[in-house]
C-alpha cells in the first residue's frame, strides 16, 4: 500500500473502474433492444462488421473487433445456428474461413437500424 499523495487505492478513484462501469452501463442500454432482435451485444458487433464490409474472413472480423479466434468462433457458430450467417472455406485456401450473411442476416439489418438512434438519445 502506498502513502504517496494522489496514489489512492479506492476503487472509485481508479480510471479502469470508471471505464468498466461506463462500458457496462452502455452495454446494458443495448440489451433490451438486442433481445428484440435475438442477439447478444458481441453478436451484434459481428453483424455490424459484416453489414459494413460484406463477406469477411474470421481473422479480419477478429481484428476489427479486437477479439481472438477462441472468442469469435463460438459467436459465429451461434449466428450460423440462428440462420444469420454461413461459414465457407475459401477455394484457394482451405485454412481460411469466410463468414457470409444469409438473406435473413441481411434482412435483420433493417430491423437493427432502430438501435443506434435509441442509444444516441440515451447518451
**Dihedrals φ, ψ of 90, to 5°?**
-70, 140
Mean pLDDT of 63-77: 95
Q: What percent of the chain has pLDDT over 90?
A: 77
Question: Would you state the cell numbers that stand for residue 8, as one nine-digit string?
Answer: 489512492
Pair 119, 30: CB distance under 8 Å? yes
Q: Is residue 10 helix, strand or coil?
A: coil
What's the mean per-residue pLDDT of the chain? 91
* CA angle in degrees (0–180, nearest 5) for 101-105-111: 145
| Sole residue written with cell 470508471 | 18
Q: Is residue 23 helix, strand or coil?
A: helix
- Reported as a single tens digit per residue, the pLDDT across 6-64 is 678 898 888 999 999 999 999 999 999 999 999 999 999 999 999 999 999 999 999 99
More confident residue, 118 or 96: 118
Cα 80 from Cα 102, distance rounded (Å): 9
pTM of the model: 0.85
Amino acid at each position: 500500500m502506498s502513502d504517496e499523495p494522489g496514489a489512492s487505492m479506492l476503487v472509485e478513484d481508479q480510471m479502469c473502474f470508471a471505464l468498466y462501469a461506463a462500458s457496462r452501463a452502455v452495454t446494458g442500454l443495448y440489451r433490451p433492444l438486442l433481445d428484440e432482435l435475438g442477439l447478444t451485444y458481441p453478436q451484434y458487433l459481428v453483424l455490424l462488421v459484416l453489414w459494413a464490409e460484406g463477406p469477411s474472413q474470421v481473422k479480419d472480423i477478429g481484428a476489427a473487433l479486437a477479439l481472438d479466434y477462441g472468442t469469435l468462433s463460438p459467436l459465429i457458430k451461434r449466428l450460423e445456428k440462428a440462420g444469420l450467417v454461413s461459414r465457407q472455406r475459401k477455394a484457394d485456401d482451405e485454412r481460411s474461413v469466410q463468414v457470409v450473411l444469409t438473406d435473413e442476416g441481411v434482412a435483420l439489418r433493417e430491423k437493427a437500424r432502430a438501435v443506434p438512434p435509441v442509444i444516441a438519445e440515451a447518451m
